[in-house]
C-alpha cells in the first residue's frame, strides 16, 4: 500500500502570491465533511464555510438566524474534510458588531473549528474590526457590495455600485479594508465595471460573485455550481451539473424497487402468536 503524499495547506501568503502573478483564485462554499473533501481534491484554493448554510442547509429564508455555534460546527467538519485548501469561516449576524465582540467570536471560530481565517461583511465602518482581528493574528476576508446579513436594512437583493456615489463608496470601503489588513475581498453583486476598477486599485485579490469576470478570483455556493437545489439558482450562477435530477432519478428508482418487494401482509397465525414468549415478568 503506497503512502499518501504529503500535502501542505495553502496560506494567506500563497493567496497573495497568486494575486501578484495574476493567477485567479478559485473559492467555493462547503458545509460538510464530504463536500469539503471533494472540492478540496478538485483544486479549489479557498473553501468558504459561508453563513449561506442558513439558506442552503438549514432552510432559512435569510442568513440572519445562523448562529456562531452553527458556523463552528460546520466549519470544523469542513476542516476535517480538507488537507490543501485554506478554510475560511463566516462570522454570522451579530457577532462582529464591534472590535471586542468580533475578536471573541473570531477566537472561538479559530480555536474550535481549526479554520485558517474568517470572513466579515461590511464596508468602511468595519475596518476597525478587521484591524483588531488581524492585529491578533486572525486572517480576515472582507465582503462588500451585497451583504446578505444586512438584507432587511438593504431592502432586498440587488446589484450595487450603479451610481457614481455608490461606486465611490465601494472603492473607499475596499481601500479601507485592505489598509486594515484584510488579505482578500469578496465583491458580491457589484457592477462589473466597478468591480474591475476596485480590482485594479487593490494589491489583495478580489473574489467576485455576480460581479463580472474582472475580479482576481471567483466564488460560488457549491449547490448552485452543481445544480443541487430545490429552487432556481441565482441568475449569475451557471450550474455545471444537475445533481438534483440525478438524485431524483436514483431515489425514484429505489422507491420503485422497494415497492416491488412482496411480503406477507396478513397477521401471523393465531397459534404462532400464542406460542411466542413475551418479556419475563418479575
Task: Give the catalytic positions in this structure.
Answer: 188
Find out whether 69 is annotated in a ligand binding site: no
Find out whether 211 is annotated in a ligand binding site: no
Please work out, in degrees rounded to the nearest 5, the angle formed at the alpha carbon of residue 84 by the alpha carbons of 180 and 72. 60
Asked whether 102 and 95 are in contact (CB, 8 A), the reply is yes
* Rg of the chain over all Cα atoms, to the nearest angstrom: 24
Cell numbers that stand for 143 in this block:
465582503
CB-based contacts of 237, cutoff 8 Å, min separation 6: 210, 220, 221, 224, 225
CB-based contacts of 254, cutoff 8 Å, min separation 6: none
Q: Which of 251, 222, 273 is nearest to 38 (CA)?
A: 222
**What is the rounded distance in angstroms from the CA atom of residue 157 to the CA atom of residue 15?**
29
Find out whether 52 is annotated in a ligand binding site: yes
CB-based contacts of 26, cutoff 8 Å, min separation 6: 43, 44, 45, 46, 217, 218
Find out whether 90 is annotated in a ligand binding site: yes
**What is the rounded distance in angstroms from the CA atom of residue 228 to the CA atom of residue 140?**
29
Find out whether 51 is annotated in a ligand binding site: yes
Would you list which residues are annotated within the binding site? 51-52, 90, 119, 121
Q: Name the binding residues for 3-methyl-2-oxobutanoate.
A: 51-52, 90, 119
Task: List the binding residues for Mg(2+).
Answer: 51, 90, 121
Amino acid at each position: 500500500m503506497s503512502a499518501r503524499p504529503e500535502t501542505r495547506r495553502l496560506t494567506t501568503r500563497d493567496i497573495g502570491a497568486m494575486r501578484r502573478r495574476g493567477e485567479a483564485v478559485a473559492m467555493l462554499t462547503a458545509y460538510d465533511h464530504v463536500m469539503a473533501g471533494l472540492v478540496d481534491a478538485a483544486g479549489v484554493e479557498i473553501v468558504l464555510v459561508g453563513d449561506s448554510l442558513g439558506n442552503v442547509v438549514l432552510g432559512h429564508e435569510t442568513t440572519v438566524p445562523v448562529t456562531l455555534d452553527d458556523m463552528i460546527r460546520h466549519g470544523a467538519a469542513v476542516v476535517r474534510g480538507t488537507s490543501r485548501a485554506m478554510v475560511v469561516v463566516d462570522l454570522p449576524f451579530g457577532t462582529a458588531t464591534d472590535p471586542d465582540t468580533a475578536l471573541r467570536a473570531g477566537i472561538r471560530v479559530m480555536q474550535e473549528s481549526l479554520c485558517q481565517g474568517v470572513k466579515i461583511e461590511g464596508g468602511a465602518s468595519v475596518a476597525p474590526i478587521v484591524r483588531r482581528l488581524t492585529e491578533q493574528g486572525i486572517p480576515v476576508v472582507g465582503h462588500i457590495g451585497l451583504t446578505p446579513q444586512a438584507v432587511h436594512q438593504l431592502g432586498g437583493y440587488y446589484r450595487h455600485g450603479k451610481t457614481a456615489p455608490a461606486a465611490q463608496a465601494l472603492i473607499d470601503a475596499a481601500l479601507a479594508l485592505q489598509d486594515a489588513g484584510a488579505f482578500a475581498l469578496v465583491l458580491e453583486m457589484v457592477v462589473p465595471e466597478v468591480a474591475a476598477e476596485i480590482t485594479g486599485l487593490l494589491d489583495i485579490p478580489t473574489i467576485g460573485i455576480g460581479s463580472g469576470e474582472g475580479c482576481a478570483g471567483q466564488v460560488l455556493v457549491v449547490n448552485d455550481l452543481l445544480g443541487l437545489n430545490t429552487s432556481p439558482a441565482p441568475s449569475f450562477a451557471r450550474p455545471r451539473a444537475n445533481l438534483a435530477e440525478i438524485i431524483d432519478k436514483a431515489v425514484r428508482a429505489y422507491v420503485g424497487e422497494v415497492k416491488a418487494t412482496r411480503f406477507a401482509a396478513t397477521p401471523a397465525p393465531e397459534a404462532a402468536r400464542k406460542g411466542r414468549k413475551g418479556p419475563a415478568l418479575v
